[in-house]
């Protein structure tokens, strides 16, 4: 059985920034296959600014809004939306049960979740844990019920992301931004989601890069900034922006810069999608390796640590790669 003429599809990915970024291509693929379909993306409050950048998403639902309703209200609300297809990219038991109770005709979820056996009537069989495919490629396996079974390249998936951010810097950020120099973002932390390069290495890079040529902005949450801002070099070209931007402002700021350096975390994926030079620091260990989680983008460079190495690469190698990426824009 195949889904042949969907009118209204929900793509549900209610987890973090990077995961959402690598799910956006599904909207473009479905739009190409079914030009008149309405695509709804269910995310959460935090990731909404990312989803808004996808031109192929027609409507955004916030999972946290649904959680404010009781069970009966949730079911009635879903019924009223006249959805015919619901794709559970991020498996969530509560949502899977709601979609079934709401009578949504086509409910799609991986066969490797036991609760999907009773809640989903389309269950593509694939495993993420031991796969050699990229996360964005794995996501496309959930489209097989629509007759979409192609093996997409990462370049194709980048195109289907249709990520476009209108760059509007606030006066606060504009005051820091210096167009006469190259502007680099260092994002040292990952909120524990990735193998991190020592913050001291980012700081050493900031000390060594030519202050006459580059501005360096350290970004992250306020909590992360408290861990290292007191260690930042006191140089005019080094700016602490940790805890000072909303996510929407961060996307605009990333879009305006020339390069971002980070571990496998959300801002790294945003940099790749916005098309700036993006240097990702990864472990070779599965399933967190670059083959699975590197950003989509045409200007992405990857440094991988050797197994059991204390840091992704010696500092001098990282420094050379950063300098090379900057020189390409001179």
In tens, the pLDDT along 259-309 reads 999 999 999 999 999 999 999 988 888 888 999 999 999 999 888 876 555
Q: What is the pLDDT of residues 239-259, one digit of tens each?
A: 999 999 999 999 999 999 999
pLDDT band at 326 (very low <50, low <70, confident <90, very high): low
Residue 31, pLDDT above cutoff 90? yes
pTM over 0.75: yes
Cα(4)–Cα(13) distance, integer angstroms? 23
Residue 124, pLDDT above cutoff 80? yes
Question: What per-residue confidence (pLDDT) applies to 321?
Answer: 65
H/E element, 93: helix 93-101
H/E element, 329: none
pLDDT band at 128 (very low <50, low <70, confident <90, very high): confident
Question: What per-residue confidence (pLDDT) applies to 310?
Answer: 44
Domains of the chain with CATH codes: 8-161 (3.40.50.2000), 173-327 (3.40.50.2000)
DSSP state of 230: G
Question: What per-residue confidence (pLDDT) applies to 330?
Answer: 38
Cα(228)–Cα(198) distance, integer angstroms? 11
Question: What per-residue confidence (pLDDT) applies to 323?
Answer: 64
pLDDT band at 24 (very low <50, low <70, confident <90, very high): very high
Residue 315, pLDDT above cutoff 70? no
In the chain, what's the furthest Cα-to-Cα distance? 64
Average pLDDT over residues 107-117: 95
H/E element, 38: strand 38-43
Average pLDDT over residues 163-184: 84
Q: In what order do the strands lie in the sheet with 85-88?
A: 59-62, 38-43, 8-12, 85-88, 106-108
pLDDT band at 221 (very low <50, low <70, confident <90, very high): very high
Q: Which of 170-179, 180-189, 289-298 is predicted least confidently?
A: 170-179
H/E element, 321: helix 315-327
Return mean pLDDT, the chain.
90
Residue 188, pLDDT above cutoff 90? yes
pLDDT band at 29 (very low <50, low <70, confident <90, very high): very high
pLDDT band at 126 (very low <50, low <70, confident <90, very high): confident
H/E element, 61: strand 59-62
Average pLDDT over residues 74-87: 97
Residue 311, pLDDT above cutoff 60? no
């Amino acid at each position: 059985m195949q889904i042949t003429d969907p009118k209204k599809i929900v793509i549900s990915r209610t987890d973090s920034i990077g995961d959402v970024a690598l799910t956006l291509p599904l909207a473009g693929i479905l739009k190409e296959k079914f030009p008149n379909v309405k695509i709804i993306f269910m995310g959460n409050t935090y990731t909404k600014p990312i989803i808004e950048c996808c031109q192929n998403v027609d409507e955004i639902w916030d999972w946290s809004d649904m959680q404010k309703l009781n069970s009966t209200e949730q079911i009635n609300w879903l019924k009223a939306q006249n959805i015919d297809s619901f794709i559970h990219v991020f498996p969530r038991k509560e949502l899977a049960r709601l979609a079934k109770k709401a009578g949504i005709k086509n409910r799609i979820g991986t066969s490797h979740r036991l609760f999907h056996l009773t809640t989903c009537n389309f269950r593509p069989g694939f495993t993420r844990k031991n796969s050699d495919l990229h996360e964005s490629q794995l996501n496309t396996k959930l489209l097989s019920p629509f007759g979409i079974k192609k093996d997409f390249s990462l370049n194709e998936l980048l195109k289907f992301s249709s990520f476009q951010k209108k760059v509007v810097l606030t006066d606060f950020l504009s005051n820091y931004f210096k167009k006469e120099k190259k502007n680099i973002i260092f994002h040292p932390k990952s909120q524990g989601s990735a193998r991190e390069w020592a913050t001291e290495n980012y700081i050493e890079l900031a000390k060594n890069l030519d202050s006459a040529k580059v501005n360096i902005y350290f970004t992250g949450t306020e909590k992360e900034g408290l861990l290292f801002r007191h260690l930042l070099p006191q140089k005019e070209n080094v700016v602490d922006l940790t805890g000072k931007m909303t996510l929407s402002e961060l996307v605009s700021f990333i879009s305006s810069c020339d390069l971002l350096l980070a571990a496998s975390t959300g801002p790294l994926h945003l940099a790749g999608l916005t098309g700036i030079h993006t240097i990702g620091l990864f472990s070779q260990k599965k399933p967190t390796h670059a083959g699975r989680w590197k950003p989509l983008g045409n200007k992405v460079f990857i440094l991988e640590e050797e197994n059991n190495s204390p840091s992704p690469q010696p500092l001098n190698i990282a420094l050379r790669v950063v300098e090379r990426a900057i020189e390409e824009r001179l």
